[in-house]
Amino acid sequence: MKNFYNLFGKRQKGYYTLLLLFLVFLQKVTAQVNSYTFSQNNGTYTEITGTTLAPATGNTSATNLNSAVYPVTIPFNFIFNGIIYTNANVSTNGFITFGSTAPATTNTTPISNTATYEGAVSAFGRDISSYFDVSGSSGLISYETIGTAPNRELVIQWKNFRPNSSTAVTNVYSFSFQVRLKETSNVVSVIYNSGSFLVGSTAISGTVQIGLRGANTSDFNNRLNDTTILFDASTQGTAVANTQSFNTSASTPGMPSAGLSYVWIPPSCLRPGSVSNPASTANTADIQWVAPVVAPSNGYELYYNMTGTAPTASTAASISNITSTSVTIPSLNASSAYFVWVRSVCSASDKSEWSTAGTAKTICAPITDWHENFDTYPTGSIVPDCWARIVGSSNTAQTISSTTPASGTRNLYQITSSAANTTIAVLPEFSNVNAGTHWLRFKARATTTSGSLDIGYVTSATDASTFVNIQTVNITSTSYLAQDAEYKVIVSNSVPANARLAIRNGGVSTAGHFLDDFYWEAKPTCIGPSGISVSNVGPSSAVIGWAASVTPPAAGYDIYYSTSDVMPTASTPPSLTGISTLSTPTGALLPLTKYYVWVRSRCSATDFSAWSTQIVFFRTLCQPAAILSTTAATVCSNNSAVLTASTESGATLTWYDAMNGGNVVGTGNSYTTPQLSTSTAFYVGSSTPIVVGAALPDAISNDGYTLEAGLFFDAVSSFTIAGVYVYPTGTGAGTVTIALQNGGVSPATTIQSITVNLTGTASPYVKTYVPLNFAITPGTNYKLMMLTKSGGVTGLIRESGASWGAYPLTMPGKFSITNGNCCSGNTTSTSYYYFYDWQVTTTCESPRTEVMATVDGGCLSTSETNAENKLKVYPNPFSDVIYLSDASKVKNVKVSDVSGKVLRTISKPEAELRLSELPSGMYILVLEMNDGTVQTIKTIKK
């Protein structure tokens, strides 16, 4: 059944195109006017003297019967093109029309004109006019009914007309002609009288439309001759705009001869009209039609097919001997479209043409398994075959859309403004809807980050009030690729047997919703979990969590994680198995590594669910270097302490004044504190520099974008963007300017920028590293932008579809890319612009270790116990040079500012210390003596 439905869907796509072409084609092959029989003869032109419709009263365009239309009553029922008429419209431009729509007074092409009158008879259709009082004669239009019922004839006459439109009285060629309509036989004829010059002899030539037109320009029966053929020797026209050529002076083509008659005889058996399909079942179609004005004595025949190929006169009927104007076609395919024609049978040898085609469509038979991705349908306010559509009265939409589908080229779109305007998409009828064996699986996304849909059923496909909700699903992503973009709804055996599943946007969420890739399929015996998540990420482990399966598995859950994004198969051994809880820590992981995670249910030793389809990944944190040892110090009051620590090779020690946050007070294996009066704790951390690529995708074959665009990101901590990768497009060498901007203001301001040399290529594009060295401090709404490009670089590759993933893209503890930035200003976009595999330079630091500097309040300072040995420093204040009284006793001199920051270290100093580079201010000299004692002296530079 699934295969049949898919095949039918493909056939329907062709049906839409075929129907459009067919409706144009069938007008030509079944047109009634085209079936009139034409004949030509040379008779006698008999002038009438009946009722005048209009006389010429002058020789101006307003008075010489130029561009005017007059109504005339037909005194009997005249059948033209299968319709009875009792009125006509007479144009001064040589033709009459039928129907309520009169021709425009300026219409000079009655057969090829697209006006909506229902038919036309043209005797000399072009821009013509009459004349007044030339050589004693004047023009007029008149009509007269001759003969007796039922053989009367209405004659409409154009007397004393020129073959052109003119007001001149110095060159006048005059001729006359008539249109004749016969009662009962419904024959149409035109007859001409010969013409001559009344004044002058200047030739008049041109073309004229002569013949019949039906209700539109595809239904015609006209005449044709060019300037090399006599007017009287015309042939059948082959195009609606064909004309006859004439010349008042040249014998070829010449003018109509006296008594020249054109006669069109309608078919004796009239075809039916308006074939329709008022009702269908899965395997039958009711067909009805409108009887012709003269009902056929032997009933009707019907022909149908699925191709749209119109029948010919010799085509055998599908159904014969139909005595009414309706019939039921039996034994049809379900969910199928048919073309239907009907013809009248007046006798065994006299049958009408086939009618214009009607279409019929059988309804869908219930199915057991089903898939729909909407790709075989055009866009628009429709739903697929076998669906139904219930739409609220205002501010709602339910359409097939081409906007970013999950697969292929189409998806379904719903939006509802309020609960009063519920929108419901009703799915096909499933024969096993209440068997309890199947589930409905589909993908959905919202236009904003908050959406909601009700999945339920209706018992009437046209009545929204019959909807019963089974499950409400919250749509939390704008991408089909996001976690939990695929939804599964289990349908129990308690729903009614006549229920049809339906998707309702009840107005709780006014977001737009896109849906794609529907499946009605047997639910698996083991159903997987959802909501896969990762938490407590460290350098060597993480915690994987998930939401329980709707049917908790007896043997728990399996977890598979890998550094590869290749999804595991059913035979892939899990990394962890038989987990009975809804979360578990991983085994040992590598630091600073990207991992992908999948989870499945384990219902028994042999029955597993499919692995989760969510795209879930995380990156382990770095493994900092360890602090190997620390050495505290004890000093007397008002002295500095020297604290030391050691770490692994290649690591750097940083000293802080707080366990968390605080200020950096020193770097290196030792730190000399300021003079201390109380015991003080300091803290040291060990760090190693790292360079990592952010978790972003490589470019695929997408579009080279040329406009100013980039990425929004938020910085959690300080780091440096060492560089990024780009894919330049174009024809050769050029430059690109890349900028770091502040997108938190409008207009955005540039913080840093760089112009780099790149080479543009055609596909496949070359991945190229661009060094940036942009320093980032914590903040929000940064923008990394391409501002300009030049030379052979025409643009950079972006990802404009949903295949690359979805925002945000996060590097834990460092930054989060929140949106694309497109085109100008601070406009956001879901596309991914230009910058791939960010190379981020940062540091990986250990937890800080406390190192105590203890002040012993009971001891005497060096100055007190050995005052005679105390070194003197002078002058104080000083200008550029300061002197030591006995430099031989000093091992090192450290010059610090008042915060304790070491500005300069002088080993084995001379008596004269030159400090001219220091600005004016207070400084601390820490004198480390050869005997291990320390003297601290405050001094001031002038």
Q: What is the pLDDT of residues 14-42, one digit of tens each?
A: 333 333 333 333 333 344 798 899 999 99
Tokens of 457: 């059923």
Q: Say how far apart CA 302 and CA 833 lie, in whole Å.
A: 61
**Which position has the higher pLDDT, 397 or 350?**
350
Q: Say how far apart CA 482 and CA 937 lie, in whole Å.
A: 65
Q: Say how far apart CA 308 and CA 25 lie, in whole Å.
A: 10
Q: Is the dihedral of CA 877, 882, 886, 887 positive or negative?
A: positive
- Region of poorest pLDDT, from 69-73, 109-113, 448-452, 748-752: 448-452
| pLDDT of 253 above 80 | yes
Q: Which amino acid is at 891?
A: K
Residue position matching structure tokens 């057991």: 368
Q: Say how far apart CA 942 and CA 936 lie, in whole Å.
A: 19
Tokens of 214: 């039906």
The pLDDT of residue 703 is: 66
What 8-state DSSP symbol labels residue 204? -
The pLDDT of residue 885 is: 86
The pLDDT of residue 899 is: 63
The Cα angle at residue 479 between residues 599 and 517, in degrees rounded to 5: 75
Tens of pLDDT, residue by residue over 819-847, are 888 876 788 888 888 898 888 888 888 88
By three-state DSSP, how is residue 4 classified? helix
Tokens of 142: 């008149």
225-233: Cβ within 8 A, 24+ apart: 225/253, 226/253, 227/252, 227/253, 228/252, 228/253, 229/253, 230/254, 231/255, 231/256, 232/40, 232/256, 232/257, 232/260
Tokens of 265: 């005889």
774-778: Cβ within 8 A, 24+ apart: 774/720, 774/721, 774/740, 775/718, 775/720, 776/715, 776/718, 776/719, 776/720, 776/721, 776/740, 776/815, 777/715, 777/718, 778/715, 778/716, 778/717, 778/718
Strands 388-390 and 370-372: unpaired
The Cα angle at residue 875 between residues 869 and 878, in degrees rounded to 5: 135
Proportion of the chain above pLDDT 70, given as a percent: 93
Spatial CA neighbour of 423 closest among 387, 392, 377, 469: 392
How large is the average pLDDT for residues 527-533? 89
pTM for the whole structure: 0.54
Spatial CA neighbour of 203 closest among 272, 264, 253: 253
Cis, peptide link before residue 496, omega less than 30° from 0 = no
Spatial CA neighbour of 176 closest among 321, 45, 21, 57: 45
Tens of pLDDT, residue by residue over 420-431, are 788 999 999 999
Q: Say how far apart CA 769 and CA 758 lie, in whole Å.
A: 9
The pLDDT of residue 17 is: 37
**Which position has the higher pLDDT, 692 or 455?**
455
Mean pLDDT for the chain? 89
Tokens of 331: 């034994």
Question: pLDDT tier at 700 (50, 70, 90 boundaries)?
Answer: low
In contact, 892 and 933? CB cutoff 8 Å: no
Name every residue whose Cβ is closer than 8 Å to that of residue 650 and which is 6 or more positions away in sequence: 625, 688
For residue 626, the Cα-to-chain-centroid distance in whole angstroms is 54
- Region of poorest pLDDT, from 55-59, 279-283, 853-857: 853-857
| pLDDT of 585 above 80 | yes
Spatial CA neighbour of 814 closest among 833, 831, 836, 839: 839
Tokens of 482: 């996001």
| pLDDT of 13 above 60 | no
The Cα angle at residue 547 between residues 546 and 551, in degrees rounded to 5: 125
Spatial CA neighbour of 911 closest among 932, 880, 936, 890: 890
Q: Residue 476, class by beta-carbon neighbours within 10 Å (0-12 exposed, 13-18 middle, 19+ buried)?
A: middle
How large is the average pLDDT for residues 566-579? 95
Question: pLDDT tier at 865 (50, 70, 90 boundaries)?
Answer: very low
By three-state DSSP, how is residue 6 classified? helix
In contact, 456 and 424? CB cutoff 8 Å: no
**Which position has the higher pLDDT, 161 or 686?**
161
Name every residue whose Cβ is closer than 8 Å to that of residue 239 and which is 6 or more positions away in sequence: none
Q: Say how far apart CA 549 and CA 601 lie, in whole Å.
A: 7
**Which position has the higher pLDDT, 317 or 620?**
317
In contact, 523 and 490? CB cutoff 8 Å: yes
Considering all CA atoms of the chain, what is the largest pairwise distance in Å, rounded to the nearest integer? Answer: 159
| pLDDT of 802 above 90 | no
In contact, 889 and 901? CB cutoff 8 Å: no
Backbone angles phi, psi at 104, to 5 degrees: -65, 150
The pLDDT of residue 695 is: 59
Q: Say how far apart CA 367 and CA 386 lie, in whole Å.
A: 10
The pLDDT of residue 898 is: 65
Strands 849-856 and 633-636: parallel
The pLDDT of residue 746 is: 77
The pLDDT of residue 320 is: 97
Q: Say how far apart CA 124 and CA 113 lie, in whole Å.
A: 15
Q: Say how far apart CA 698 and CA 700 lie, in whole Å.
A: 6
The pLDDT of residue 483 is: 63
**Helix and strand totals (H; E) in the chain:** 2, 68
Q: Which amino acid is at 435?
A: A
The pLDDT of residue 393 is: 75
**Which position has the higher pLDDT, 717 or 444?**
444
How large is the average pLDDT for residues 845-866? 72
DSSP element (H, E) containing 29: helix 2-29
Tens of pLDDT, residue by residue over 156-204, are 999 999 999 999 999 999 999 999 999 999 999 999 999 999 999 999 9
Q: Say how far apart CA 580 and CA 58 lie, in whole Å.
A: 107
In contact, 298 and 347? CB cutoff 8 Å: yes
The pLDDT of residue 88 is: 98
DSSP element (H, E) containing 86: strand 83-91
Backbone angles phi, psi at 317, to 5 degrees: -70, 150
User: What size, in residues, is the chain?
Assistant: 942
Spatial CA neighbour of 574 closest among 545, 593, 599: 599
Question: pLDDT tier at 648 (50, 70, 90 boundaries)?
Answer: confident
How large is the average pLDDT for residues 930-939? 81
**Which position has the higher pLDDT, 448 or 888?**
888
The pLDDT of residue 39 is: 97
| pLDDT of 756 above 80 | yes
By three-state DSSP, how is residue 836 classified? strand
| pLDDT of 764 above 90 | no
How large is the average pLDDT for residues 912-935? 84
| pLDDT of 498 above 90 | yes
Q: Residue 686, class by beta-carbon neighbours within 10 Å (0-12 exposed, 13-18 middle, 19+ buried)?
A: buried
Question: pLDDT tier at 10 (50, 70, 90 boundaries)?
Answer: very low
With b meaning 16 or more CB within 10 Å and e meaning fewer, what string describes 809-822? bbbeebbbbbbbbb
- Region of poorest pLDDT, from 237-246, 327-336, 370-379, 820-829: 820-829
Count of Cβ atoms closer than 10 Å to residue 798 Cβ: 26
| pLDDT of 730 above 60 | yes
Q: Residue 106, class by beta-carbon neighbours within 10 Å (0-12 exposed, 13-18 middle, 19+ buried)?
A: exposed
Count of Cβ atoms closer than 10 Å to residue 856 Cβ: 12
| pLDDT of 211 above 90 | yes
The Cα angle at residue 758 between residues 757 and 759, in degrees rounded to 5: 135
In contact, 589 and 542? CB cutoff 8 Å: yes
